[in-house]
Structure 1
């Protein structure tokens, strides 16, 4: 489809994390997948050096001076946009004026990386307007820094890497220390089902940062750079050095890293029952040791996990609400989706949003 000069649309996907929660900022392993739902940013160049943005999610429109240095301090959704623009300003990029309209079919606060989709989407807008491109890893890191500095969320690299580097019909294995990635094919034997608990989370509220502090303290007390450096074999001989809460946080991270590696191997071998068992163990660990699940997510995982054709179900994202993700039998995916909707409605007392998704590419210009 042709477009007028200076007009284009950026598509930025959300993501689910199949396994590997709260391991990224511990230099560990994760295995997310970009999903069909996300953001669309319709852009039109305009004279001058101002950016005018509006969103169908409400909130006041943004008016950002692209020629003036941007500083942290905003409390509205514009903090994500300003953080990304500031990153390009520091690189010395000149950003032309533009107008943008953002539409989304991604649950906000659902743990599906709506913030990373916005950040990477805006970075793709800037690249397109400027007629140049960052290295994809540098682009993801710029967006991660924007979330740290302008949104106050000390996130790891998983979300921005997934939204930037994903490939169609694949999950993305990330070594968060080396930043090496591998694309893991997900065949037609399985499908991914997402269930929104309806409980909105806000990672900037403090729970996420508190978990990160617990992990950093545990690593320091164990004399390691990060919990990545503690193996599950040596963990039993080290656990006594930590206070009870820090010990549970560390145990989750250490065992979760093992589960990610085992899941990757199971996926590559097509052993989906084994992958599902690892997902169930991951949810139990997040619920009991890391304490980032909630009643609604636990009910969903229990109800969906009992259905025939479901290999495994777990919470996905930072926690404190958001979504669950299930790995289901591909040929029966549509019927399982309907059964899951009914089962979750019975468990929760209301019908949650449930949808199937395939793996899609990272942020791109349409």
Structure 2
């Protein structure tokens, strides 16, 4: 079938700013040149019919009707986009389309990419003009309120706002952002994606638990300082100065102190990383990525044995500037900034050493190399 429109929504990686967007921290990110393609034609009524080249089955529902219980099926993301849009707009026209993902791996925010594609498609079909940040907010709301993942706006922002020639720097408190162009003196790099072979679902992982632990750490600090507690959904570590954490860290439960330590140290690393990027110092930027992953392991306490093994191996490989878990760090993949001249050696050595330890993933372990790309867009 010939479709009228084609949307490409890229996957994303976050080199610095891990696990802090939901606490209104500061983050960095790239959109990459692999992602989700959605081909569609607006329908004459509110009916939505979707097929997938990646998953089995079809999806059928009506945009004019309220979304009911989730079906725990890939169509939930289309229904989630409808749910968030209907809170703001009247939707009269559906779409008939087909969707395809280009990398079958976790840790690249494929769910956020497909949500953004659906938001853009439903808006196009109904003549709704949205700014990129409005797309970000609507897609993020769909994931939080309908899908059930208590995320911030990092994933959606990288996917919608990324540019191939720069690093996205986003303040998740004010929503202010800028794309920092590559310094001409910066050496060339590509992005390695090292998929452990172990898939994951964030809704079923400890992702939401970590969000609650961060908020509880903030509550602890407010309570020890005899400050009024805010409603839990409006409690964020970003609102509490680090000096308060320094005063209270020894008296709060260690679990919560570690979560807060990650937040404040990651805030510092992002600031340092932005300066390194602006000056073209990719070596320092990479070391900060490694430091971020160390904190993710020891303070945020995420990372499966498989991911930690990949991280430990890639730290030792020539040509790897730096890297960390990609995404939330529960199963999934690792990402690294690499010198393109070393790609073959990196792939060969990483594959050999990883499969020596985890031979059960011989058929599912994958290495990909990608490049930064522009954000979600209509393809002409």
TM-score, with normalisation over the residues of structure 2?
Answer: 0.89
Residue 131 of structure 1, CA deviation? 2.9
Check whether the contact 2:21–2:154 (CA below 8 A) recurs between aligned residues: yes
Given candidates 159, 167, 170, the residue that maps to 1:171 is: 167
SS across alignment from 1:183: strand
Residue 308 of structure 1, CA deviation? 1.1
Residue 332 of structure 1, CA deviation? 4.0
Superposed, which structure 2 residues align to 1:246-261 within 5 Å? Answer: 246-261=256-271
- In 1, Cα distance between equivalents of 2:348 and 2:168: 28
SS across alignment from 1:240: coil
Relative to 1, partners in 2 of residues 1:69 and 1:115: Cα closer, same or farther, differing over 3 Å? same
Given the alignment of the two structures, is residue 49 of structure 1 paired with residue 26 of structure 2, yes or no?
no
Check whether the contact 1:84–1:146 (CA below 8 A) recurs between aligned residues: yes
SS across alignment from 2:329: coil
Check whether the contact 1:11–1:365 (CA below 8 A) recurs between aligned residues: yes
Check whether the contact 1:191–1:328 (CA below 8 A) recurs between aligned residues: yes
Superposed, which structure 2 residues align to 1:82-161 within 5 Å? Answer: 82-108=79-105, 110-161=106-157
Superposed, which structure 2 residues align to 1:139-288 within 5 Å? Answer: 139-186=135-182, 189-223=188-222, 225-231=235-241, 235-288=245-298
Relative to 1, partners in 2 of residues 1:58 and 1:154: Cα closer, same or farther, differing over 3 Å? same
- In 2, Cα distance between equivalents of 1:309 and 1:231: 38
Residue 219 of structure 1, CA deviation? 0.6
Relative to 1, partners in 2 of residues 1:112 and 1:212: Cα closer, same or farther, differing over 3 Å? same
Residue 124 of structure 1, CA deviation? 1.4
Relative to 1, partners in 2 of residues 1:231 and 1:275: Cα closer, same or farther, differing over 3 Å? farther
SS across alignment from 1:70: coil
- In 2, Cα distance between equivalents of 1:141 and 1:333: 36
Aligned twin of 1:27:
24
Q: How many residues align?
A: 362
- In 2, Cα distance between equivalents of 1:312 and 1:146: 33
- In 1, Cα distance between equivalents of 2:30 and 2:321: 17
- Greater shift after overlay, 197-206 or 186-195? 186-195
Deviation digits for residues 196-228 of structure 1, max 9, x if unmatched?
A: 111212111151111011100111111285222
- In 2, Cα distance between equivalents of 1:89 and 1:229: 32
Given candidates 304, 307, 314, the residue that maps to 2:317 is: 307
- In 2, Cα distance between equivalents of 1:77 and 1:260: 34
- In 2, Cα distance between equivalents of 1:193 and 1:281: 18
- In 1, Cα distance between equivalents of 2:187 and 2:344: 13
SS across alignment from 1:107: coil
Aligned twin of 2:231:
none
Gap runs ≥5 in structure 2: 228-234
Relative to 1, partners in 2 of residues 1:232 and 1:311: Cα closer, same or farther, differing over 3 Å? farther
Residue 287 of structure 1, CA deviation? 1.0
- In 1, Cα distance between equivalents of 2:246 and 2:95: 57
- Greater shift after overlay, 40-49 or 210-219? 40-49
Relative to 1, partners in 2 of residues 1:338 and 1:171: Cα closer, same or farther, differing over 3 Å? farther
Residue 185 of structure 1, CA deviation? 3.0
- Greater shift after overlay, 270-279 or 333-342? 333-342
Check whether the contact 2:7–2:377 (CA below 8 A) recurs between aligned residues: yes
Check whether the contact 2:221–2:244 (CA below 8 A) recurs between aligned residues: no
Given the alignment of the two structures, is residue 292 of structure 1 paired with residue 305 of structure 2, yes or no?
no
- In 2, Cα distance between equivalents of 1:139 and 1:61: 25
Relative to 1, partners in 2 of residues 1:267 and 1:339: Cα closer, same or farther, differing over 3 Å? farther
Relative to 1, partners in 2 of residues 1:275 and 1:12: Cα closer, same or farther, differing over 3 Å? same
Relative to 1, partners in 2 of residues 1:206 and 1:322: Cα closer, same or farther, differing over 3 Å? closer
- In 2, Cα distance between equivalents of 1:334 and 1:91: 49
Check whether the contact 1:34–1:163 (CA below 8 A) recurs between aligned residues: yes
TM-score, with normalisation over the residues of structure 1?
Answer: 0.92
Check whether the contact 1:72–1:83 (CA below 8 A) recurs between aligned residues: no
Check whether the contact 2:27–2:154 (CA below 8 A) recurs between aligned residues: yes
Gap runs ≥5 in structure 1: none
